[in-house]
Structure 1
Amino acid sequence: MVALRIAQVVPYCSAAFGGGYEYELSRALVKLGHEVTIFTSDRTPYRYRLSVDEEEAHHKVRIRRFRALLDLRELPVPPSMLPGLLDEDLDVIQTSEPFQLCSLYAALASRSRGVPLVVSQHLYYKPWDPLKRLGLRLSEALYGRFVLSTAKRIIAISTAARSYLKEKGVEEGKIEVIPIGVDADRFTPTAEPYGPLMEEAEGRKVILFVGRLTGYKGVKYLLQAFSRLLKEYREVVLCIRGDGPERPYLLQLESKLDLRERILWLGYVANRDMPSLYTSSNLFVLPSLIEPFGISALEAMASGRPVVATRVGGLADLVEEGVNGYLVPPCSIEGLEEAMLRILEDEGLERRLGREGRRRAERYFSWDVVARRILSLYGELL
């Protein structure tokens, strides 16, 4: 395939914070010999602005930022993005989520310039936040259907997202399931252990959770399952990396369950230290009630760690029951306890599940594999 000029259109992109789906995909596409420009706003999800005066380049990925006049509940409005897109010579435009205003600009540029549009769909549920639910309904009514009708193909990152699109009336032949990828060269079973965690664990086995401390992550069920687990298996600690609005409640629950000496609250751990954190654990648990994909679970798989997760969203695609981990129903304290205990009590099983998780991550989910699948999809449109 000849080198393509590709636009990735996204509301936010900060390479300093890991960049997200579009940035990592762009890096993989550049490695395969293509030119990629990310069109984004000057905002971040953390509510501060980035410079729009100069173009950025990270790992040969060009980034153009446009000033957002408003940021409506994580929906930045950068009106100068549309002229910016129209100024570029492009072969393909890709954007994420049809309800984003940036996706409207991508669709308008696609129609104006005759450039094929690809939309990636991550959401498969209605947002919990009432204002976000209202915003989603309004955006779908005002321009979401226009974006979907303009798109030549729609990438669903999970089978759950595909089902969501079909319920919205999108024809099945227009949808292709292509997952989010993982940097399998960075997240490996051979990464050096994370020193601070190893010191705190004091030789005990480690159960790891990585994620935001909010209700839909289901951490309260993990704490209750861990409390039950300790009655059967004592030489283990629970490590929680992350912060969020539910932290005060979880600390109260920790005290109520008498787990103060058993839980390590790491809070923020730098992105550069995450591979080491995963390899310092014996198993990874993600007890979410909803989960668009489950990137942390995929990173744990690539790091050679067994995964216990709930059967929701993208997690049902990542974990193959009894092969690289176990799936349990959401909110199931008993299910979480039984799955964790099964792995902790059998070191041979722990190693086998970890090996298979690594193999599965390399074979199906590495960014190189994902980028090649997306390039093949682009090729069908040109």
Structure 2
Amino acid sequence: MSRRHASRAPPRWWHRLERTSPAAWRRHELHCEASVTPTEPEIERAPGALTILLGCDTFSPDINGAARFAERLAAGLVQRGHEVHVSAPNTAWRHVPARTEVIEGEPLIMHRLPSVKLWWHEWLRFVWPWRAKHWARRVLDEVRPDVVHIQSHIVIGRGLARIARKRGIPVIATNHVMPENILDFTRLPDALNRVFVKLAWADARRTFQLTAAVTTPTQKAADFLEKTIDVAGVLPVSCGIDMSQYTPDLEPRTENRIVFVGRLTSEKQVDVILRAVAKLDPALDVHLELVGDGDQRPSLEKLADELAIRDRITFHGHTTDEVLRGALTRASVFAIASIAELQSIATMEAMASGLPIVAADAVALPHLVHEGENGYLFAPGDVDGLAERLTTVLTASAEDRGRMQRASLRMVEAHDITRTLDTFEALYRGEPIPA
């Protein structure tokens, strides 16, 4: 599609058409496809480089694990000389021409699609589902990628997978979704939630069947996905982390600080951490730092007041990477009570900061936390169990604490971002995955 055509302001009838039926949209799309000739990509590629299109239903400025992974993946691919395009929701209901944005310090070609905000959620936006194929056609016409890598099967990824498959473009899919992630947004009764999740996974299966490969961050997550939607051969590929960005401090602590990093949403069960802190021996003089924001923050602040621990908690909210890394460096232990982690980039960041980890024994967290080695696990929702494990770490000898710190640093090396990029490059080219 020509740049001139893409940048032209839509006529008045366009806005009326936005409210018409999906069938009317499809007739309009067929007319557009017959009248527009795609142009060649304008950016010259280095020899051997690929043109890669990432399809993301959540991306910067969103703050969550899936968005952060996609940002780091895209930036890493650019550093390796590839031309990277990202199709993601716009922050408003309008389409803008493709433009370059600097993400993670690297230039990415962004295709921001008109999206609407879920009114009761802090940041979640989505493209109308019946418009997914339309925007997929337009972006694919403009980019003409060598490979499409979708980051979810929900809307943008769903549309791209179907149109790319028809055009013979290889599709790689990465799954970051757990049912708890979805249910946190629906506000439906439990009975309808069960139906919603069943239909969502059935649609996921249809999407993943169109791909050349399906990945997810850990082996536990791969096993879960294969069992849930009866798909075979899911590949565990770590989200990856650049350890050089973190500053571990292996010196003994002079104060007891617990840190949590992540969204303050229901599936993270941050209230369990607060209740556990309230049960700790006052002599430990513990301070809790919460780095992140979300819809649960008001209720968590109220709970802190009820537990009489408000003066021992810092709510950082959304903050800079420097503040986040500083909180991890000075902490004594990282605590996470989440029940819906397919990997947990935040936990890997804590490990790269040399922290012992106390985590819920749920989904993929046991993949990162080895009992008694780099920390401890507790039964999901068990406040007393979490308090006990936190006490064990906070009262550990300098020798035991140092051993856990070194174990975290050693274990996170397996999740180096270089390995992740090597694996995806091989998948994009249809080559054997490096050992």
What's the TM-score bracket when you normalise by the shorter of the two chains? Answer: 0.7 to 0.9
Cα displacement (A) at 1:64: 2.5
**Bigger relative contact order, structure 1 or 2 (CA pairs below 8 A, ≥6 apart):** 1
Please tell me whether residue 39 in structure 1 is matched to residue 93 in structure 2. no
Please tell me whether residue 350 in structure 1 is matched to residue 398 in structure 2. no
Structure 2 Cα separation of the partners of residues 25 and 268 of structure 1: 22
Q: 1:279 to 1:50 in 2, by over 3 A?
A: farther
Please, which runs of 5 or more residues in structure 2 have no aligned partner? 1-46, 119-123
Quote the residue 2:163 is aligned against: 109
Question: Of residues 280, 286, 298 in structure 1, which corresponds to 2:336?
Answer: 286
Structure 1 Cα separation of the partners of residues 232 and 209 of structure 2: 13
Question: Of residues 176, 179, 183 in structure 2, which corresponds to 1:122?
Answer: 176
Matched residue of 2:240: which SS?
A: coil
RMSD (Å) for aligned C-alpha atoms: 3.0
Structure 1 Cα separation of the partners of residues 76 and 230 of structure 2: 28
Contact 1:155–1:176 under 8 Å retained in 2: yes
Contact 2:291–2:324 under 8 Å retained in 1: no
Amino acid corresponding to residue 82 of structure 2 in structure 1: H
Contact 1:119–1:148 under 8 Å retained in 2: yes
Cα displacement (A) at 1:299: 0.8
Contact 2:354–2:409 under 8 Å retained in 1: yes
Contact 1:123–1:161 under 8 Å retained in 2: no
Quote the residue 1:159 is aligned against: 219
Matched residue of 1:243: which SS?
A: coil
Quote the residue 1:365 is aligned against: 415
Please tell me whether residue 263 in structure 1 is matched to residue 313 in structure 2. yes
Structure 1 Cα separation of the partners of residues 296 and 200 of structure 2: 29
Quote the residue 2:204 is aligned against: 144
Question: Of residues 89, 97, 101 in structure 2, which corresponds to 1:53?
Answer: 97
Aligned counterparts, 1:195-234, within 5 A = 204-231=255-282, 233-234=283-284
TM-score by structure 1 length? 0.84
Please tell me whether residue 10 in structure 1 is matched to residue 56 in structure 2. yes
Identify the range of structure 1 (262-271 vs 327-336) with the bigger mean alpha-carbon deviation.
Answer: 262-271
Structure 2 Cα separation of the partners of residues 51 and 272 of structure 1: 33
Q: 1:351 to 1:82 in 2, by over 3 A?
A: farther
Amino acid corresponding to residue 177 of structure 1 in structure 2: P
Aligned-pair identity (%): 26
Matched residue of 2:284: which SS?
A: coil
Cα displacement (A) at 1:50: 8.3
Q: 1:50 to 1:325 in 2, by over 3 A?
A: farther
Structure 1 Cα separation of the partners of residues 152 and 115 of structure 2: 20
Identify the range of structure 1 (117-126 vs 77-86) with the bigger mean alpha-carbon deviation.
Answer: 77-86
Matched residue of 2:322: which SS?
A: helix
Structure 1 Cα separation of the partners of residues 276 and 200 of structure 2: 40
Amino acid corresponding to residue 256 of structure 2 in structure 1: K
Structure 2 Cα separation of the partners of residues 211 and 41 of structure 1: 22
Matched residue of 2:358: which SS?
A: strand
Amino acid corresponding to residue 205 of structure 1 in structure 2: N
Matched residue of 2:264: which SS?
A: coil
Contact 2:93–2:115 under 8 Å retained in 1: no
Please tell me whether residue 65 in structure 1 is matched to residue 116 in structure 2. no
Contact 2:85–2:143 under 8 Å retained in 1: no
Amino acid corresponding to residue 59 of structure 2 in structure 1: C
Quote the residue 1:27 is aligned against: 75
Amino acid corresponding to residue 280 of structure 2 in structure 1: L
Contact 1:38–1:61 under 8 Å retained in 2: no
Quote the residue 2:152 is aligned against: 97
Quote the residue 2:19 is aligned against: none
Amino acid corresponding to residue 148 of structure 1 in structure 2: F
Cα displacement (A) at 1:25: 0.6
Structure 1 Cα separation of the partners of residues 59 and 423 of structure 2: 23
| CA displacement, residues 200-234 of structure 1 (integer Å, 9 cap, x when unaligned) | x9x52211112222332222221222122225x42
Please tell me whether residue 323 in structure 1 is matched to residue 344 in structure 2. no
Contact 1:238–1:264 under 8 Å retained in 2: yes
Cα displacement (A) at 1:137: 4.7
Cα displacement (A) at 1:285: 0.5
Structure 1 Cα separation of the partners of residues 139 and 303 of structure 2: 51
Q: 1:260 to 1:291 in 2, by over 3 A?
A: same
Identify the range of structure 1 (308-317 vs 163-172) with the bigger mean alpha-carbon deviation.
Answer: 163-172
Structure 2 Cα separation of the partners of residues 268 and 159 of structure 1: 31
Quote the residue 1:186 is aligned against: 245
TM-score by structure 2 length? 0.75
Question: Of residues 133, 137, 140 in structure 2, which corresponds to 1:82?
Answer: 137
Please, which runs of 5 or more residues in structure 1 have no aligned partner? 192-200
Matched residue of 1:269: which SS?
A: coil
Structure 1 Cα separation of the partners of residues 197 and 382 of structure 2: 30
Matched residue of 2:401: which SS?
A: helix
Q: 1:131 to 1:75 in 2, by over 3 A?
A: farther
Contact 1:157–1:179 under 8 Å retained in 2: yes
Greater gyration radius: 2
Contact 2:111–2:139 under 8 Å retained in 1: no
Structure 1 Cα separation of the partners of residues 106 and 126 of structure 2: 27
Amino acid corresponding to residue 87 of structure 2 in structure 1: F
Matched residue of 1:313: which SS?
A: coil
Contact 1:205–1:281 under 8 Å retained in 2: yes
Identify the range of structure 1 (262-271 vs 144-153) with the bigger mean alpha-carbon deviation.
Answer: 262-271
Structure 1 Cα separation of the partners of residues 74 and 94 of structure 2: 20
Matched residue of 2:235: which SS?
A: strand
Identify the range of structure 1 (1-10 vs 65-74) with the bigger mean alpha-carbon deviation.
Answer: 65-74
